[in-house]
């Protein structure tokens, strides 16, 4: 071990964080470690695995409960059993980060797929929109259709499609994060007679979205991607069971609420996705 590495592991006289006198590996004043290694990728990975898996064993029990006991993590948090599991927001961030990272690596958004009708390739969206614009007599409608055709033209050019996908992937995590309070407000609306705190609905929403991203992650697996259409049914079933476990009540009202929540949120998410796509295409066209 070099002299620099020896020095890095020596006990300092005072805490680097609060300047309190140091007498051991942890500061008695603020609790921070008194000896620090240089921040390397190995160190970051060690901290994550040591904190969640090895030392406290939080990650595996948390993921197991999240996947197989819908709503139970929310109840555990509400009942005060919080140190046993990964906190809601870090759990959500972990799954969403992994999903968008693997989505960008998979290239699923940079390789357009042709749509076939009766074993014949359908017209490209750009051609269809251009034809529609040519047949339109209203100047305003023609302008909108031409703009849409210009935006869709990125599908014809791999380089432009890759740039557009980069813009879109950059905005999607923020869009989903902004939508979570909207879903929590929907939960508050359908359970308004119970007069529950909004924070409870937001907590439920964060855990639900962590599960949704876990399902999306599974859908990226090559052998499973062919069954991705079933993801919506899995998420709906999970939502209904989680509603029953967290909010209580009879089954059939929770089924109705689950279907209403899923339908309304799907509509809102679709609109948000369209807006983000339009903004990303607009930014891309201005930069091109």
Looking at mean pLDDT, say which of 37-46, 105-114, 125-134, 264-273 comes out highest.
264-273
Evaluate if residue 116 carries a pLDDT over 60: no
pLDDT of residue 174: 82
Alpha carbon 103 to its chain centroid, in Å, reads 11
Task: Name the token pair of 139.
Answer: 């100047």
pLDDT of residue 284: 47
Classify 194 as helix, strand or coil.
helix
Count Cβ neighbours within 10 Å for each residue of 35-50 and write b for 16 or more, e otherwise. eeeeeeeeeeeeeeee
Give the mean pLDDT of 226-241.
88
Evaluate if residue 222 carries a pLDDT over 60: yes
Interior angle at CA 120, CA 115 and CA 121, nearest 5: 40
DSSP per residue, 2-17: -HHHHHHTSPPSB-TT
- Asked whether the beta carbons of 75 and 245 are under 8 A apart, the reply is yes
From 17, 22, 247, 222, select the one nearest 108 (Cα to Cα).
222
pLDDT of residue 122: 47
Measured CA to CA, the distance from residue 274 to residue 109 in angstroms comes to 15
Evaluate if residue 1 carries a pLDDT over 60: no
pLDDT of residue 22: 82
Q: For residue range 174-195, list pLDDT tens digits in order.
A: 888 889 999 999 999 999 988 8
Q: For residue range 79-95, list pLDDT tens digits in order.
A: 988 888 888 998 998 89
Of residues 173 and 133, the one with the higher pLDDT is 173
Give the mean pLDDT of 42-70.
74
Mean pLDDT of the chain: 76
3-state DSSP: the chain helix, strand, coil percent, rounded to 5?
Answer: 70, 5, 25
Alpha carbon 90 to its chain centroid, in Å, reads 11
Of residues 65 and 151, the one with the higher pLDDT is 65
From 217, 214, 211, select the one nearest 105 (Cα to Cα).
217
pLDDT of residue 84: 83
Task: Name the token pair of 55.
Answer: 């030392």
Measured CA to CA, the distance from residue 47 to residue 285 in angstroms comes to 42
Evaluate if residue 132 carries a pLDDT over 90: no
Of residues 14 and 287, the one with the higher pLDDT is 14
Measured CA to CA, the distance from residue 215 to residue 100 in angstroms comes to 13
Where are the chain's structural domains?
3-56, 67-112+157-287
Return the number of other C-beta atoms located less than 10 Å from residue 204's C-beta.
26
CA atoms within 13 A on the CB side of 155: 16
Q: For residue range 2-19, list pLDDT tens digits in order.
A: 444 444 457 788 887 788
| Cβ partners under 8 Å of residue 200, min gap 6 | 74, 78
Looking at mean pLDDT, say which of 70-79, 97-106, 139-148, 149-158 comes out highest.
70-79
Q: CB burial class (10 A; 0-12, 13-18, 19+) of residue 286?
A: exposed
């Amino acid at each position: 071990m070099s002299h620099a590495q020896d020095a890095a592991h020596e006990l300092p006289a005072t805490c680097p964080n609060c300047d309190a006198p140091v007498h051991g590996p942890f500061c008695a004043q603020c609790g921070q470690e008194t000896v620090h290694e240089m921040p390397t990728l190995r160190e970051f990975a060690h901290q994550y695995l040591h904190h969640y898996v090895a030392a406290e064993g939080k990650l595996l029990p948390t993921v197991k409960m999240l996947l197989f006991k819908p709503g139970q993590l929310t109840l555990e948090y509400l009942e005060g059993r919080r140190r046993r599991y990964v906190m809601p927001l870090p759990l959500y961030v972990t799954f969403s980060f992994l999903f968008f990272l693997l989505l960008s690596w998979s290239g699923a958004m940079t390789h357009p797929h042709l749509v076939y009708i009766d074993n014949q390739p359908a017209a490209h969206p750009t051609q269809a929109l251009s034809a529609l614009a040519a047949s339109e007599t209203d100047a305003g409608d023609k302008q909108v259709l031409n703009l849409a055709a210009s935006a869709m033209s990125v599908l014809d050019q791999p380089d432009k499609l890759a740039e557009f996908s980069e813009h879109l992937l950059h905005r999607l995590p923020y869009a989903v994060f902004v939508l979570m309070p909207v879903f929590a407000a929907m939960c508050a609306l359908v359970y308004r007679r119970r007069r529950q705190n909004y924070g409870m609905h937001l907590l439920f929403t964060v855990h639900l979205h962590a599960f949704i991203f876990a399902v999306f992650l599974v859908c990226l697996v090559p052998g499973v991607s062919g069954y991705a259409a079933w993801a919506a049914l899995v998420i709906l079933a999970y939502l209904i069971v989680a509603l029953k476990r967290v909010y209580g009540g009879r089954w059939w009202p929770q089924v109705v609420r689950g279907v209403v929540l899923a339908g309304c949120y799907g509509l809102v998410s679709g609109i948000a996705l369209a807006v983000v796509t339009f903004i990303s295409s607009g930014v891309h066209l201005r930069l091109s």
